[in-house]
Structure 1
Amino acid sequence: MKFKQIIIGAALVIMGATGCKKANSDVDPDTGNGTVTGEISGVWQKGSTQVIKGDIIVPEGKSLIIEEGVTVLMDTVAKPEIIIKGNLYVQGTAELPVRFTVDPAFRTDAKKFGKLWGGILAAPSCSELLLDHAIIEYGGSTTSDASTSVKQGLYKAIAGENLPALWFSNVKGKLVVTNSIFRNMQEDCTYIDGGRVLFANNTFYTTGLTGGEAINLKSGCVADVAYNLIYSANTNALKLSNAGDRTPQAYVIAYNNTMVNTGWRRPTAKGGSIWVEATVRVEVYNNMFVNTRFGVKRDTKKPEDSRSLFSNNYYYGYDQTTVNQFQPSADIIGGTNDVIGKKAGDNDPKFANFPLDNPVSSPNFNTAWDFHLNAGSPALAKGKTNFTRNHAAGMEMNGTVYKSPEPSTYIGAFGTK
């Protein structure tokens, strides 16, 4: 049931063991606008602005619902963390997304890789987390001994770590991230340590100052990753790993994603497009790689599960060096029915609007670019559709069922208009 007003710290709970402050707010009851620190649950109302002056915590057993059009404005001095011990439901719309951001004065080119607030950190007690039509930007600050996440043993629980935009850690929980944008982050956009997971129809760009992935999945994850656009992630677009020894074994089906210019700002050879390791079980279909540093790449010392499948993926390189790094080898995985050429410029995908000679080292993203396929694209009618997704039946989140989208006969995240 949805509440009609924000409920903040209703019981003046003192978190003696964790040092958590009680909730503090100054809220307009008609708009829901407020200044917030401490414990929080209930509803942030449609169109309101929530000014986050310090770390906030959704307590275990409680939920926070953020309605469409809410702006969550993070203080750049306090650099708050959003810690979810209960549940979080972010329910924006295409017209009115929910935006986690900072004051416009700080949204500058000098701050393009964020570091201005922490991230959304979901403790193992968080059973459900939904981001639907959210924008998450300018985060990824570095932890210190004083960070709440360090004190409470969350994420990596040590000082000096660059926080991801989103961390989720309940192997029995549910995580759905859809129709959302991650941008201007210092390092990883997402770091997922387990759960039933769906990433679909998202966009990632201008992320990773010196490292980091767009989607980083570890053991305990049973995930579908589909129809995402990932531009210029510093290291990999997707890092798929069974590291962590959690049950169940990581099993990821990644299909119909478009990856462009990924891995080129990574100073070592590990960066690229999709990295698989440590007995992760994967199925990789219908993905488009354009000017990415490598094709799908394995850790030869800790390879993927032998049941993994790769097919119907598409490669384009503007220069010969890029094309050479797509070619199958001991560490570059070739798939069945892949579309992969030998010469620079082979397999032009015929994007609606994207300069294929765009500098691959540039993290700058032009929102006017259009990665739909023009008629006559060789990526049309090359996709695989006869496979089963992990979450085809869907997962219910706060009254709505979110299903993994059907695969397409085209390759990449976008067909023709």
Structure 2
Amino acid sequence: MKKLQIISLCISLFALAACSKKSDSVVVSVPQIQIGKAISNSATLPAGNYKGTMLANQTYTVGGDITINAGDTLLIQKGVKINMAKGANFIVNGDLISLGTKDAPVTITDPRRTKTTGSSTVATDSAYVGGWGGIYCSNSANLVVLKWTHLDFGGAALKALPFPQATGLKAGSQYILYFENPNGLFIMEDSWMYGSPDDATRFYGGTYNIMRNTMEKCGSTGGDGFNAKGSSVGNMAYNLIIGGATNGTKSASDGTTAGECQFAMYNNTYVNDGFRNDGVYGARSGSVEIENNSRALVYNNLIVDCNFGVRIAGGPGGAKVYLADTLYNASSVIKKTAYGYNFFYGDNAAMTGQFVPTSVAQPVVTHPQATDIPNMAAFLGASYTFGFVYDGSSLVGKNNPMFVNYPLPAANNAWITQASVDGFNFHLQAGSPAVGKGTTTAFQPITAGIKIDPNFGSSGITGPGKDIGAYQLDGTGNQH
């Protein structure tokens, strides 16, 4: 009878989730599940093939690459901590499911390293030097789900290609998350990434829902946060990205002929991004970058002390053609790149002079928007030609977004060295000029192909919020 009661409870919970008519509903609690046999933590796990379940609240030590074969599943229950050997990777040819919870997150880390607070530089902070490797998913990896999961101190260089026909990999690649299956589904929700030497992520195909995550210290002297390429399609929303080397979120249709890269990027908060790029100034962004024939919807984002605003790349220019696809296409998931209702704050004239990025290194085609804060269309005037240099010095220090706990104006060039959340609180105060200034009607998130499921899919696609940025006064959005 007890077994029947448990089954009945599970059916009831799934039925309640399935009957919800709100596309942004989030499953609060689900019963723990187990797939296959339990994996023992009684000894160091050597390199090899694995499937089954890592059990809740256990600590595992990994001594070499963990490989998941095609057709197999590795499931990680809540509260698991995985201490990875230097350079060790997850090689995913099957499915990987990590189901942490708010109260008991999963942690994958290099145990030899410790997080630091305060001033952070490449020369002194081990966060920018890869410890363990990454999660590398081949074109046979159908499903990757990361919920309430810490990925700390990853990005050690690959010694060899983990699988053949890797579109964007080579020996020496230093990514933490890599996914390339054009028919696969990648879910990352309510998770954290801390430290990386290069791009924290590389996506070359598939469908994505990336929501409510926090990124700190990603990229050493270059590298993006969420870097989507190929024919990848999906959402990047309600993420806090602080102290990234270059772009926080980026789309580019590199490495494929299967179709354009297309993302809805909305209600993200970007802080202190774009100041560790040692390349040509202006050849990369400091918050949002749309380039190489990709399409995007970029709305309701809060961009604070970042090197550049929303950069819609023109072309040709430099060694690469960065032209984004700004033409209307009725057959595309995103018919036309569009953006607005973004909020900008800068503590010096170099930043405020790039709220609307200019063609300092390559052509850009970002148009000033009347819906932005500040109103850049009015500030620049009707005669302004996109890409032209302008004087933004009068905007310095204006429109303080009023974080609950983060000092603005920032002292001592903190936008360069403050790259982690520490004890700061990036929620908005009730009187913030960003409150109620977002749009909930100008666009809609991408839903096609994103499975809603408490374990084997997204917990829910949260739609655009009325407050600009990752944190909403009603308690929705980013939960960190």
Q: Shorter-chain TM-score: which interval? A: 0.7 to 0.9
Shift of 1:34: 5.0
Contact persistence 1:273–1:295 (CA under 8 A): yes
Matches within 5 A, 1:29-48: 35-48=45-58
Contact persistence 2:78–2:99 (CA under 8 A): yes
Match of 1:91 among 76, 83, 99: 99
1:282 to 2:261 alignment: no
Match of 2:172, as an amino acid? G
Match of 2:128, as an amino acid? F
Distance 1:336 1:284, change over 3 A: farther
Contact persistence 2:161–2:171 (CA under 8 A): no
Matches within 5 A, 1:1-400: 2-3=34-35, 5-6=37-38, 27-28=41-42, 35-76=45-86, 79-104=87-112, 110-144=125-159, 147=160, 149=162, 152-154=164-166, 156-161=168-173, 163-267=174-278, 268=280, 269=282, 270-301=284-315, 302-306=322-326, 307-327=336-356, 329=358, 331=364, 332-340=366-374, 342-356=394-408, 357-358=410-411, 359-386=414-441, 387-391=443-447, 394-397=450-453, 398-399=455-456
Match of 1:3, as an amino acid? I
In structure 2, runs of 5+ residues without a counterpart are 1-32, 117-123, 316-321, 327-335, 376-393, 476-480
Contact persistence 1:234–1:266 (CA under 8 A): yes
What is the distance in 2 between the residues matched to 1:261 and 1:158?
Answer: 30
Contact persistence 1:124–1:170 (CA under 8 A): yes
Report the secondary structure of 2:181's partner residue: coil
Match of 1:413 among 453, 470, 473: 470
Match of 1:395, as an amino acid? K
What is the distance in 2 between the residues matched to 1:42 and 1:232?
Answer: 37
Between 384-393 and 81-90, the greater mean CA deviation after superposition = 384-393
What does the per-residue CA deviation read over 1:276-312, in whole Å, with 9 as the maximum and x for residues that have no partner?
Answer: 1111111111001101101111322132222210110
Match of 2:337, as an amino acid? S
What is the distance in 2 between the residues matched to 1:392 and 1:377?
Answer: 34
Match of 1:158, as an amino acid? K
Distance 1:42 1:353, change over 3 A: same
What does the per-residue CA deviation read over 1:349-392, in whole Å, with 9 as the maximum and x for residues that have no partner?
Answer: 01100122051111442421111111221111110101221128
What does the per-residue CA deviation read over 1:122-171, in whole Å, with 9 as the maximum and x for residues that have no partner?
Answer: 00100100000000011111223xx352x64546442232x211001011
What is the distance in 2 between the residues matched to 1:258 and 1:158?
Answer: 32
Contact persistence 1:207–1:233 (CA under 8 A): yes
What is the distance in 2 between the residues matched to 1:205 and 1:56?
Answer: 25
What is the distance in 1 between the residues matched to 2:41 and 2:425?
Answer: 41
Report the secondary structure of 1:61's partner residue: coil
Distance 1:205 1:124, change over 3 A: same
In the other structure, the counterpart of 1:11 is: none
Higher strand share: 1
What is the distance in 2 between the residues matched to 1:141 and 1:316?
Answer: 35
Distance 1:284 1:157, change over 3 A: closer
What is the distance in 2 between the residues matched to 1:87 and 1:63?
Answer: 5
Report the secondary structure of 2:128's partner residue: coil
Give the TM-score normalised by structure 1: 0.88
Report the secondary structure of 1:182's partner residue: strand
Distance 1:130 1:246, change over 3 A: farther
What is the distance in 1 between the residues matched to 2:447 and 2:213?
Answer: 17
Match of 1:159, as an amino acid? A
What is the distance in 1 between the residues matched to 2:290 and 2:96?
Answer: 30
In the other structure, the counterpart of 1:21 is: none
Report the secondary structure of 1:405's partner residue: coil
Distance 1:216 1:401, change over 3 A: closer
Distance 1:336 1:278, change over 3 A: farther
Higher helix share: 2
Distance 1:240 1:333, change over 3 A: farther
Q: Sequence identity of aligned pairs in percent?
A: 29
What is the distance in 2 between the residues matched to 1:105 and 1:390?
Answer: 38
Bigger relative CO (Cα 8 Å, ≥ 6 apart): 2
Match of 2:192, as an amino acid? I
What is the distance in 1 between the residues matched to 2:349 and 2:113?
Answer: 42
What is the distance in 2 between the residues matched to 1:216 and 1:34?
Answer: 33
What is the distance in 2 between the residues matched to 1:399 and 1:135?
Answer: 19
Contact persistence 1:229–1:258 (CA under 8 A): yes
Report the secondary structure of 2:71's partner residue: coil
Distance 1:303 1:368, change over 3 A: same
Shift of 1:107: 5.3
What does the per-residue CA deviation read over 1:225-272, in whole Å, with 9 as the maximum and x for residues that have no partner?
Answer: 110000011011112111223423211111100001100111232231
Match of 2:224, as an amino acid? E
Report the secondary structure of 2:415's partner residue: coil
In structure 1, runs of 5+ residues without a counterpart are 8-25
What is the distance in 2 between the residues matched to 1:280 and 1:157?
Answer: 20
Report the secondary structure of 2:351's partner residue: helix
Report the secondary structure of 2:210's partner residue: strand
Report the secondary structure of 1:322's partner residue: helix
What is the distance in 1 between the residues matched to 2:125 and 2:358?
Answer: 40
What does the per-residue CA deviation read over 1:85-133, in whole Å, with 9 as the maximum and x for residues that have no partner?
Answer: 0000000001111101022556576422241111000001001000000
Between 290-299 and 56-65, the greater mean CA deviation after superposition = 290-299
Contact persistence 1:54–1:75 (CA under 8 A): yes
Report the secondary structure of 2:250's partner residue: strand
Give the count of matched residue pairs: 389
